[in-house]
Amino acid sequence: MKGYVILISVVAALGGLLFGFDTAVISGTINFIQPYFGLSEAGLGWTVSSLLFGCIAGVFLAGKAGDHYGRKKVLMVAALLFFISAVGSASAHSLVFFLVARILGGLAVGVASILSPMYIAELAPAKYRGTLVSLNQLAIVIGILVAFFSNYLLVDTGVNNWRWMLLVMAAPAVLLFFSLFLVPESPRWLVARGRNDDALNVLVKTSGKEFAAAELKEIEETLKNQEESTFSDLLAPKIKPLLFIGIILAVFQQITGINTIMYYAPKIFANVGQSNDSALFQTILIGGTNLIFTLVAMVLIDRLGRKLLIIIGSTGMMLMLAGLSALYFTNQTSGVLVLVFILGYIAFFAASLGPALWVVAAELFPNRLRSKGMSIAIVSLWIACTVVTIVFPVMLEKLSGGITFLIFALICLANLLYVLKYVPETKGKTLEELEKQFAK
Ligand code: BGC
């Protein structure tokens, strides 16, 4: 049973891996596609963020199509889209073609960002759900690291290097597509389609014979309630504050600047005068740090709690960004300290806001409103991500690194103050206990 559940989670987490890969792979290509397509800084911002517009649409699509056709089938479509996007963007000779291919990839990322964790949550036995859903964030981070690593390996392959970098994604896309044949449809979705016998079969395999019938009953109960919920229920007086917390935290996860590093690190390193080779090597250090500190977060998150973790994390992020800004102001950007501050910043993010946002977003809402509340929060995340991605290259050019990173440091401070005042601690309680606590 355990092996089966782990297989299911790993297959679904492949969606997270592609999410991470596809969003981060662009960083290694920017110093080559910018001259190839003749892009200004503003044009580069739009090109890098094109994928993110797809993500926003993908989240909405995933919710609707996932309910109609099933989580598994829609994840399969996402796998195909990842494949088409990889081949399309790698073979693009015009900017428009490139943008369309990236937007299709974005649709797939948006779908995976909602359906992978949802599918795992719906198939995992309650006892392991937290850990198994965290696997998805781990997969995102591994995807980012794989992208950085393969970019580094491919940088010396000539003028078409950026094409190879983008094409790599076709491999995990094929793997995701075929491995989805090995896993069952979500029992929760099967029940919603009236296929209770099929659902029971799946539950027997994931939770064991003795628990399957009881679980089936529970699913029937939750679904009964879920069907009655609408988006406007999120505006009920008891729920609205939770919705705000979800949205604001998701926005802070992005506007504290994580993806200025994840998507633009080589640009920052080039900006301080380093070669492409060493810049791409440094992104591997960034991806590795991100991975290690995500594991640290997975150990700490149930012990210290989400809130304390975010408080420590945003304080650290703020100090690191302030340090980075100071290096620019004092013209000391040529040394190793730039890398030290960037790695420190990544470590604090990965150990806190990175995974904690996804955990809190999944915990805040009552059972019957979870998917609706979460999808609003995650759409806000992608919108914030898009805005930061568009404006960052322009900020770096027009305001200089000193002011740019100072602004992000101040946003970390705002995040810290917000979390201290408004975000509740959710560790150690069952979702139902939280539901009661928030309803008071
Ligand atoms: C964020 C992504 C980010 C990644 C970095 C995720 O939690 O949502 O935007 O690229 O962490 O590890």
Domain of residue 245: give its range.
Answer: 2-183+225-439
> Percentage of the chain surpassing pLDDT 70?
95
Q: Is residue 189 part of a domain?
A: no
pLDDT tier, 312 (very low <50, low <70, confident <90, very high otherwise): very high
Alpha carbon 275 to chain centroid, angstroms: 29
* Range name among 61-65, 172-176, 230-234, 290-294 with the lowest pLDDT average: 61-65
CA separation (Å) from 261 to 91, 159, 345? 26, 25, 9
Question: Which is nearest to 226 in space by CA: 377, 380, 86, 122?
Answer: 122
pLDDT of residue 388: 94
- The arithmetic mean of pLDDT across residues 109-131, rounded, is 78
Q: Is residue 367 part of a domain?
A: yes
- The arithmetic mean of pLDDT across residues 14-42, rounded, is 92
Q: Is residue 401 part of a domain?
A: yes
Q: Is residue 51 part of a domain?
A: yes
Q: Is residue 15 part of a domain?
A: yes
Give residues (CB < 6 A) around ligand 1: 23, 137, 140-141, 144, 253, 258-259, 262, 290, 354, 385
What is the model's pTM? Answer: 0.85
pLDDT tier, 17 (very low <50, low <70, confident <90, very high otherwise): very high
Residue 410, pLDDT above cutoff 80: yes
pLDDT tier, 227 (very low <50, low <70, confident <90, very high otherwise): low
pLDDT tier, 168 (very low <50, low <70, confident <90, very high otherwise): very high
Rounded to whole angstroms, the Cα distance separating 10 from 183 reads 10
Q: Is residue 210 part of a domain?
A: no
Ligand 1 centre distance from Cα of residue 95 (Å): 26
Give every CB contact of residue 336 below 8 A, 6+ residues apart in sequence.
Answer: none
Q: Report the atom number in ligand 1 closest to the C-alpha of 20.
A: 10
- The arithmetic mean of pLDDT across residues 218-245, rounded, is 81
Ligand 1 centre distance from Cα of residue 217 (Å): 36
* Range name among 14-28, 267-281, 316-330, 412-426 with the lowest pLDDT average: 267-281
Q: Is residue 406 part of a domain?
A: yes
**Pocket residue to mutate for ligand 1, from 22, 114, 259, most atoms within 8 A of Cβ:** 259
Q: Report the atom number in ligand 1 closest to the C-alpha of 354.
A: 7
More confident call, 136 vs 320: 320
pLDDT of residue 8: 86
- The arithmetic mean of pLDDT across residues 115-140, rounded, is 77
Ligand 1 centre distance from Cα of residue 354 (Å): 6
Give the number of residues written for the chain.
440
pLDDT of residue 431: 64
Ligand 1 centre distance from Cα of residue 223 (Å): 31
SS (HEC) of the chain:
CHHHHHHHHHHHHHHHHHHHHHHHCHHHHHHHHHHHCCCCHHHHHHHHHHHHHHHHHHHHHHHHHHHHHCHHHHHHHHHHHHHHHHHHHHCCCCHHHHHHHHHHHHHHHHHHHHHHHHHHHHHCCHHHHHHHHHHHHHHHHHHHHHHHHHHHHHCCCCCCHHHHHHHCCHHHHHHHHHHHHHCCCCHHHHHHCCCHHHHHHHHHHHHCHHHHHHHHHHHHHHHHHHHHCCHHHHHCCCCHHHHHHHHHHHHHHHHCCHHHHHHHHHHHHHHCCCCHHHHHHHHHHHHHHHHHHHHHHHHHCCCCCHHHHHHHHHHHHHHHHHHHHHHHHCCCCCCCHHHHHHHHHHHHHHCCHHHHHHHHHHHHCCHHHHHHHHHHHHHHHHHHHHHHHHHHHHHHHHHHHHHHHHHHHHHHHHHHHHHHHHCCCCCCCCHHHHHHHHHC
Domain count, the chain: 1
Ligand 1 centre distance from Cα of residue 353 (Å): 9
Q: Is residue 399 part of a domain?
A: yes
Q: Are 125 and 207 in contact (CB under 8 A)?
A: yes
> Percentage of the chain surpassing pLDDT 90?
53
* pLDDT digit string, tens, across residues 263-287: 888 888 887 777 777 777 888 899 9
**Pocket residue to mutate for ligand 1, from 114, 140, 360, most atoms within 8 A of Cβ:** 140
CATH of the domain at 428: 1.20.1250.20
* pLDDT digit string, tens, across residues 330-344: 998 887 899 999 999
Token representation of residue 398: 């027009």
Rounded to whole angstroms, the Cα distance separating 173 from 170 reads 5
Query: Which of the listed ranges 28-32, 58-62, 163-167 does the model predict with the highest average pLDDT?
Result: 163-167
Q: Closest Cα to atom 8, ligand 1: which residue? A: 354
Q: Which amino acid is at 27?
A: S
In the chain, what is the straight-line distance between the N-terminal and C-terminal CA atoms, in Å? 39
Q: Report the atom number in ligand 1 closest to the C-alpha of 259.
A: 10
- The arithmetic mean of pLDDT across residues 285-305, rounded, is 90
